[in-house]
Chains A and B, each alone.
Chain A
């Protein structure tokens, strides 16, 4: 057997199992869903479907779906905003003001909850935010006679729960790009007469921008598609694109409509990722270079 044939056999043998698996579980399903989204009814149980674009048309014609989509996008923007507000300063403090083993320990502590069960963490907020829960009691202890807090089952509760779920992402990505900034760059800026604030704006912020953008994308995308968090924490204010899609598949059983809505969601996600690509491409390339 020739060297090239041996090589090819090795490559195919090593990669084929994983990619056949992904084909069956990721790519074919997405294709199947695309098919479903243009059918009148699901072709299951002997029903005869016809081709239609009515599910996509419904999205364009009915205010309900447009509002829904906007609600989900706004939720994504709000959560991303608060993650930046909380996460960037924390990452900055960690990267530039903490040294040695403290830094490693703190970093681990911050990202640890992120890799634990999201459902359980959202659930934990219901214990804290419920009427008569920890927050309620704390507020009434400080301000006796204050009215009911009424924060659970609301939009703010959903935002709090999601920020809690996703802020470690922002801290992680910002930290990685902030700690990569050479101290001498900052010293150089200062020696050239830039104030601390100016140094931050002109040197630190631009250099950490890829981390900020990566974090924002990694947060915005799943939040737009979230359904479990709004369901548990949002109450009646928790109706989002995600929850409506969930309903189509689990209670209403209008799969073609659910598929169409999923694809609209996917389009939003792809648009956001494409928009961020120029900034992220450099980052990915950089990571590649650093690792090889």
Chain B
């Protein structure tokens, strides 16, 4: 269990700045996600923690000790690789034992510990198999056991569930979180899947173009995105761009009220509204009083997705995206006139 700190780390590949001054702390026992699109630098940051990337500048410290010049094999970290990187010429048990055996542990101690790890990841009896005889989910669990067997200070996971299909991924998410809690290890994982980040992590760090954009608890980051990028990357968002006028943000066709502190009068401002916060109604009579932001429009398209329906609403010259639970007897058809309404507290001021 350990604390990991990155201070102003920079790394460039030619003209491309993979990391452009990132500072970030991961607390003891936390489970954190590095979330960003591909090429954002999140994987570079993870690999810098592991020691596979030499930084141009900045420092990385584990438990307050600088590790910049410590080679990977002396950092005492566990890592789960994107395609697991299980040694194909070793059995499952040999794979798991590897970290102990290169440290010169006693044979009996190794065997005992490997058994314990197989139990932890629910793979008792699979020790003698070769990795290629296992399913993707099983390989995933072997990789996890192999990384945890040496009781590392920190567990790093590079897109740990990326190679699994959707159903298995959901199962493994729960299992992974359970194991992390059980072992109590500080864990950091990289993902481009926002849903995975929100489900698994207790802290999410959003990275874009080599910079840390926002860090916080999943609910925080989702409900209160700091920038336009975060609003769009984590889920969907309706963006209202305009200027501050009389305590509201004036946009084409009206003014949007918000509870956020706005910049000075006349300054540009962007408000983001999550699609599920928007309510559709046939007329104003049925709407709650607190939904003071109201736009008249008509439905352009309704996309049926089982439990939910996505509406595209045209209001003036803007298009809104609205999610609704599939509760109504029949979905609203195209061309239906509607009022789209949302509360001021759901209109979040975001940076450009």
Contact = CB atoms under 8 A, between A and B. Distances in A.
Asked if chains A and B are in direct contact (CB within 8 A), the reply is yes
Interface of A: 2-4
Contacts of B54: 3-4
Interface string B63-104: 000000101000000000000000000000000000000000
Interface string B235-273: 000000000000000000000000000000000000000
Chain A interface helix/strand/loop/mixed? helix
Contacts of A2: 69
Chain B interface helix/strand/loop/mixed? loop
5 contacts: A2-B69, A3-B54, A3-B69, A3-B71, A4-B54
Interface residues of B, number: 3
B309 to A, nearest CB: 37
Nearest to A7: B54
A2 B71 CA distance: 10
Nearest to B55: A3
B21 to A, nearest CB: 20
A36 B54 CA distance: 49
Nearest to B51: A3
Contacts of A3: 54, 69, 71
A170 to B, nearest CB: 36
B74 to A, nearest CB: 13
A49 B45 CA distance: 65
Interface string B210-225: 0000000000000000
A257 to B, nearest CB: 50
A279 B205 CA distance: 47
B12 to A, nearest CB: 14
A3 B69 CA distance: 7
Nearest to A4: B54
Contacts of B69: 2-3
B107 to A, nearest CB: 32
A4 B71 CA distance: 12
A5 to B, nearest CB: 11
Nearest to A3: B54
The 5 closest A-B pairs by CB, nearest first: A3-B54, A4-B54, A3-B69, A2-B69, A3-B71
A3 B71 CA distance: 8
B254 to A, nearest CB: 52
